[in-house]
A and B are shown apart, each in its own frame.
Chain A
Amino acid sequence: MTIDEAMRWRVGVDSGGTFTDVCLFNEGTGAIRVWKVSSTPDDPSQAIAKGIEDGVKRAAGEGAGNETDAPPQVTYIGHGTTVATNALIQHQGVQTGLITTEGFRDLLEIGRQRRTSLYDLQADKPEPLVRRDMRIEVRERIHFDGRVEKAIDEAEVRSAVRRLKEAGVESVAICFLYSYLDSTHEELVKRIVAEEFPSAFVSASHEVAPEFREYERLSTVIVNAYLGPVMSSYLERLRPRLADIGAIVPPHLTQSNGGVISFEAAQETPVRTLLSGPSTGVVGALHIGRLAGFENLITFDMGGTSSDVSLIDDGQPKQVSQATVHGYPIKAPMLDINTVGAGGGSIAYIDSGGLLKVGPESAGAVPGPVCYGLGNNEPTVTDANVVLQTLNPTQLLGGRMKIFQEDAKGAIEGLADRLGLDVLATAQGIVSVVTANMVKAIRVISVQHGHDPRDYTLVAFGGAGPVHAARLARELEVPRIIVPKNPGILSALGLLLTDLRTNTSMTRLLALDESALEPMAKAFATLHSQSADWFERHAIAPEARLLARAIDMRYAGQSYELSVPLPPGTIDATMLPMLRQAFESLHRQTYGYTAAEEPVQITTFRLEASGIVPKAALPVYPDEGADAGAAVIGRRDVYFPEANGFVTCPVYDREQLRPGNRLIGPALSDQMDSTVLVLPEQTAIVDSHLNIIIEVSPT
C-alpha cells in the first residue's frame, strides 16, 4: 500500500428526508467509515457536500501514517436520491405540455378507466400531471403494422409548440400511437421543439419507453417530462458543490434498476430514478448475502414508517419493466420492490369491528412512539417492543435517547382493555399483526411469482428489520436470516457496490418461429449499438462491459409476458426450441401448466448493459471461537408468548461480537441503531464479515 492509496476514498451518499448518510471506503486500507449529517430539505445538495467533506476529513484524520500534506482524494461518488420521488408525491414538478395523436388527448385522464378503490366513493384517480388545455393534438396516425395512414404536418406541429411556449410550460412530452414501431413523427416534433422552444425540457415516448400499451407509455413520458427540470436543477446545484469540495470525478446516481448512471443520463430520464433510494438497499443486501455465501435472498428493509421487500433469485434481483409508482403507471426497469406501510412508528388501533389493526398511520420520527415521551399518545410497534422488552426499556441509540416504558405500557393498556386481553398479549398481538402485514407483502413478491420462501435467506436491515426478522422468518418458513454489521446504513454502503447499468428494449410482436429470426437479429443489433454508445459515453473499459439479453414472450392469446433470458450466441434456428422450452418452464413455474399446442409470441426484446466498477471490498476477520461470553453486557427479561411469560436473555454488544461466536436463543444483540432478536430454539453465528446469521428452527 502506498500513502497515496491510503488517501483515496470512495464515497456513497444516501440522501433521505431526515438524515444524509455518507459511507466512505478507503481504497488503500479497506477501512469503512460512516458519517451522518442532518439533511437540508430545501437544497439537499448542501448536506451532501458538507457530509462528504466532513466525512472524508474526519476519516482521513483518523488514519495512521498520515503525516503527508497530500489532501484526501475522492475517487468515486455514488448517490441515491429521493428528489424525483418526492417531487412526484408532492406534485412539485413543472408545468408540462403534451403533443399527441389527434383524438387522444384525454387518454391521460381516461387511463384504464377502473376505480382505484372499488368501494371507497371518496377515492380519486391520480391527478393528471398535464392540464387538459396543455394537451395538444396534431393530425398523424400510424397503424399496428407500421403503415402511416396520416403523415405529420410540420407547420401544424410548429404552431402547437408555439402554443405551449406561449402558455408558459417548461417541459414538453411527446407521445404518438405506435411510436415504438416508427419514431419519425415523434422525432420531428422533438426537432421542432428544439428549434422553436430551445429552453424547454423535452421528452419523447419512444426514447423513454419504446414499448406497446399507449396509456402506460404516455404516463411514463409525462412523468419524465414533469420531473425533468426538477432533476436537472437539483443536479446542476449539486455538481458545482461537489467540484468545490475537490471531488473531480464524475458522480453517479442510482436508478430504480439498482444500477448507477451518470448525472447527465439521470437528467434525461429522471423517471428511471423513482426507486433510487430503496434499490440501493437491495444492492447492499445482495452484496452482503453473497459474501455470506447466499444468492437466493429476500431483502427486508424496515424503517420508521414503511418496509421495503424484494426478492433476489440466484444473485439476480427480481426486476419488473412496469409498476405503479405513487398512482402513476411507469414503464421503466425497476427492481421489484414492494413497499408496505408498516414500520416501527406504525400506530396500532382497534377498528369498528373490534379487531386489532396496525398502520399505515405512523407516528414518524417526531413525535415518534409513545415511549419517546415527545407527545404522541397512540401506541406504536416500537412501544409494543419496549413493553415486551425486545427493545431496551430504558434507553435507545446507545444511551443518547431515554425511553419511557411506563407510558408505552399505559397506551397499550388502553387497547388491551377493549380487546379483553392483558397488556403483554396485546403488545405481542401488535407485533403479530405487523408481522402478518409483512408476510403478505413478501408473499406478493415470492409465492405469487412461483418462488417458495423456504428456498431463500432473509436479509434484515433498516433500524427495525433485525427486531422483527426472527418472527417474520418463522412465519414464512424462511430457514435463515442475515443481519449485516451496520443494518442502519446498508443503502449508503450499497452505493459503493453498484455497477453502472442501463436497460434498453424494443417491442416487436412476432410469432416464435423461423420468421422471427431476422427481426430478432436486427432488433438486438440496434440494442447492441445503443449500448455501445452508452459504454462510450460512460467511458467504460472494454473488459468491464457486460451484456445480458432477454425476450418477453407469451402464448399468442395472452396479454401478460414472461421474460426469458437469451444466452449469448448467434441468433439462428437452433435457438427456437430452446426459447420455447425456457418459456414453457417459466410458464409452468408461474401458472402451473403449459399449453403444448399453442403458438408462442415474442413481444419485446431487452438488453441490459452493465459497466462493472471496482467495488469496496469488505474486510474479513479471523475466527475467534464459539464463546461469545466476552460480548455479554447484561441480561434482560423479554416476553415470549412461546414461554407464556418473561424469560431472562443475555444481551450482547454487537461491537464486541467476534467471528465464530455463537448465540443461543433466546438472546439479544444491541447496537447503536438496532437490536437483533434471536428467538428460543434459534441459534446464531457471527460470520467472518461480522454479520449475524440466524438459523431459524422449524416450528
Chain B
Amino acid sequence: MTVPPDQQAPGPARPTVDPITVEVIGNAMLTIVEEMGETLIRAAYSTSIKERRDCSTALFDIKGRTLAQAEHIPMHLGSLIGIVDHVLKRHPLDDIRAGDAFVGNDAYTGGGTHLNDIVIIEPIFYEGRFIAWATNVAHHADFVDRGHAHIFQEGLRIPPVRLYREGVLQEDVMEMILLNCQVPSDRLNDFRAQMAANRMGIQRFEKVCAKYGMDHTLAACEALLDYAERRTRAGIALIPDGSYQFEDGLDSDTFEGTLELKVAIEVRGDELFFDFAGNPPQVRSSINVVWTALLSLIYYAVKALVDPGIPPNAGLYRPIHVSAPEGSVVNAIAPAAVFSRTQVCQRLADMIFAALAPAIPDRVVSHSTGGALVNFSGINPRTGKFYVYNETVGGGLGARATKDGMDATMAHCMNGANQPIESLESQHPLVVERYELVEDSCGTGKYRGGMAVRRRIRAVDHEARVFMWGACNQTPPLGLFGGRSGGISRLEWSAGVTPPVGPNCIVPAGESVAVVSAGGGGYGDPGTRERTLVQRDLTEERISQSTARDIYGLPTD
C-alpha cells in the first residue's frame, strides 16, 4: 500500500518502497532524461546534435551506476558509464560542490569512447547532500581533417576537469578547449545547450526528492536497479544453456586488410559470459574499441535480444560478465586511435546475434549494415569561414524470422538521423545530388535484408577535404539460416576527383563523391520466399530481373 513518506515510521537507512511507488518514481526518472534530451537537441548548434540527434542524456547515482538513460544512441552509454569513475579518480567526493560541472572526452582518462563525444556532468545536491549526477554527451562536429594513427592525432584530449566551479564558468578551461576546436563558436553554443540540459535534470530530480522524500527516492532508484536485474535474468533464463561462438571478418576504408573477429558466449542459467579471447591486437587506425564502448555494445545487444522493455539502468549489467584481452582491438589501451570505433562495435553486435541464432532463432536478426560515414570540411566561399559537415549514412538491417529487414536505417549502436537537404545546403557549400536506395543490395532470403543507401554530394565553388568510409567493402553482412549476404559498401567519385587514399580524399569544386552503405543479410532459404513478395520487389525495382530469376527462381519471360 502507498503510504506518504512522512507517515512512515523511521527505519533503517534504506527504507523499503512498495512496487507502486517504484513504478511511479521510475516513470519520473525516464521523464527527466527525456526532457534533458529535448532541451539539448533544441538548443544546440552542431548539426550532429540538432539534426542528427547524436547525443544522449542520463542520470547516475554517486557511484556511477546508471539510473536512467534516454533512448538516443546506445553507443553513448560507453562515454557516460566511464566518466563518473574518472571524475572520482581525480576529484575526491568531498571536494565536489553544487554547481561544479566537469567536462571530459578522453577515451583513456576521461571516460569517453571517441574525442568528438564530449561529456558534461554535474552533481545533484539535495538539502546539502550529494546524491546523484546529471550528465549528457553530445557528438561535436569538429576535430576534422586529422590523422588516426593514434589518439593524439584525433583531436583535443580532455580529462575530466571543471568547466564550472560552484556555478562559475572557468574561462581559462573554456578558452583552452575552444582554441583547439575548428568551429569554436558552435562549440561554445553546444556547451551552453549541454549545460542547460543538465541544469534541467537537476531541477527535476530535486523536485522528485521534495515530493517523495530523498531517502525514498534513492531507495526507489535502488529498487529500480533490482527490477531491471530481475527482468534481465528472466529474459536470459529463456535462452537454452550452452556455449555459442561466432567468427567473422571486417574490413573498411580506414585500415588495411581484414580483421578476424571472434566472440564466445556462455549462457549459464540466468547469466551471460562473454569472452573475446583471440581477437587481433589493436591497430594503428581509427577503429579501436575501448572497454566502456565494448560494454555498451554488449548491453545494447542483450537488451535487444532478451527484453527491449528493460529499464535502461545499471541493474541490466549485473548478470552480464565480460572478459577481453587488454591491448586488443576490442579492449584498446592508450594511445590507440578510436574515432571510427563503431565499425568494430557494429560487427560485434551482428556476431553476438549470429552466435545465439541457433538458441533463439526467432529473436535474432541477420547481419546489418556496418555503417558508413562522410565528413566534408573546408572554407565556405559564401562566408569565408571554416565549415564541418558530417553525416552517417544508414543502410540495410538484417532480416528477421518473420519479416524483412528495415531498409535505409541506422543499425545497432548507432541511431543518428540524417540532415535535411534543404537545411544542410543552406548552411554548407554543398549540393546533395542523389539520396536513394540501392537496387539488389538486400541480402536474399525467405525474408530479405534491408536495402542500402547511396548519398552523393558535390562541392560547390571550393575545394573540400573529405573523410569517408564504408565498413564492409569485402566482408558483407551475412545472412542466417540459408539467407544470403547483403550488398557490400563502397565509395564512388566523379571523374575529376583523384581516387581516395584510404578514407581521405580531396574534392575539387564542381566534383562529387558518394558513399554507398551495405545491405542487410537475408533470413532463411530464398527459394522459400513467397512469390508475391518476390514479384513485388521486382516490380518496385528493389531487385533485378536476374536476382528474381536466378536466386528466387521466379519464372520470367
Contact = CB atoms under 8 A, between A and B. Distances in A.
Given A132-B541, A355-B26, 15 more contacts: A103-B436, A105-B436, A106-B436, A109-B437, A110-B418, A117-B308, A121-B365, A125-B406, A212-B426, A214-B420, A352-B234, A436-B24, A447-B35, A557-B189, A560-B41
Contacts of B408: 106, 109-111, 113
B178 interface: no
Nearest to A215: B420
Interface string B411-441: 0000111101111011000011111110000
15 contacts: A104-B436, A106-B453, A109-B408, A112-B417, A114-B416, A214-B421, A216-B420, A425-B18, A428-B2, A437-B27, A443-B31, A447-B204, A558-B42, A591-B42, A598-B189
Interface string A92-121: 000000000001111101111111011111
Contacts of A131: 540
B487 interface: no
A352 B230 contact: yes
Contact of B20 (A432, A440, A557, A598): A432
A622 B195 CA distance: 55
Contact of B1 (A118, A124, A422): A422
A357 interface: yes
Interface in B46-76: 47, 50-51, 53, 71-72, 74
Interface in A190-223: 212-216
Enumerate the 5 nearest inter-chain pairs by beta-carbon distance, A residue then B residue, closest first: A557-B45, A425-B1, A353-B231, A113-B394, A103-B434
Interface of A: 103-107, 109-115, 117-122, 124-125, 131-133, 143-144, 177-178, 212-216, 351-357, 419, 421-422, 424-425, 428-429, 432-433, 436-437, 439-440, 443-444, 447-448, 509, 555, 557-560, 590-593, 595, 598, 641-642, 644, 699
B22 interface: yes
Interface stretch (B240-248, B299-307, B373-381): B299-307
Contact of A356 (B3, B19, B364, B418): B19
Contacts of A437: 27
A120 B540 contact: no
B501 to A, nearest CB: 28
A439 B18 CA distance: 19
Contacts of A439: 27
B44 interface: yes
A699 B2 CA distance: 14
Indicate the member of A104, A120, A355, A437 with the most B CB atoms within 10 Å: A355
Contact of A144 (B228, B426, B436): B426
B339 interface: no
B410 interface: yes
Interface centre among B45, B234, B363, B542 (most CB of A within 10 A): B45
A115 B415 contact: yes
B50 A122 contact: no
A215 B422 CA distance: 10
A592 B436 contact: no
A121 B523 CA distance: 14
Given A104-B436, A215-B420, A559 B540 contact: no
Contact of A354 (B227, B307, B541): B227
B540 A178 contact: no
Contacts, number: 214
Interface residues of B, number: 89
B415 A591 contact: no
B71 A118 contact: yes
Given A113-B410, A353-B234, A558 B50 contact: yes
Contact of A593 (B1, B192, B407, B410): B192
A113 B1 contact: no
Given A110-B394, A353-B228, A558 B44 contact: yes
Interface in B1-41: 1-4, 18-20, 22-24, 26-28, 30-31, 35, 38-39, 41
A641 B44 CA distance: 45
B149 interface: no
A433 B20 contact: yes
B420 A213 contact: yes
A118, A143, A560, most chain B CB atoms within 10 A? A118
Contacts of B436: 103-106
B193 interface: yes
B555 interface: no
A578 B42 CA distance: 23
B409 interface: yes
Nearest to B235: A352
A591 B193 contact: yes
Given A354-B19, A560-B41, A110 B303 contact: no
Contacts of B22: 355
Contacts of B456: 103
B300 to A, nearest CB: 7
Contacts of A115: 406, 409-410, 415
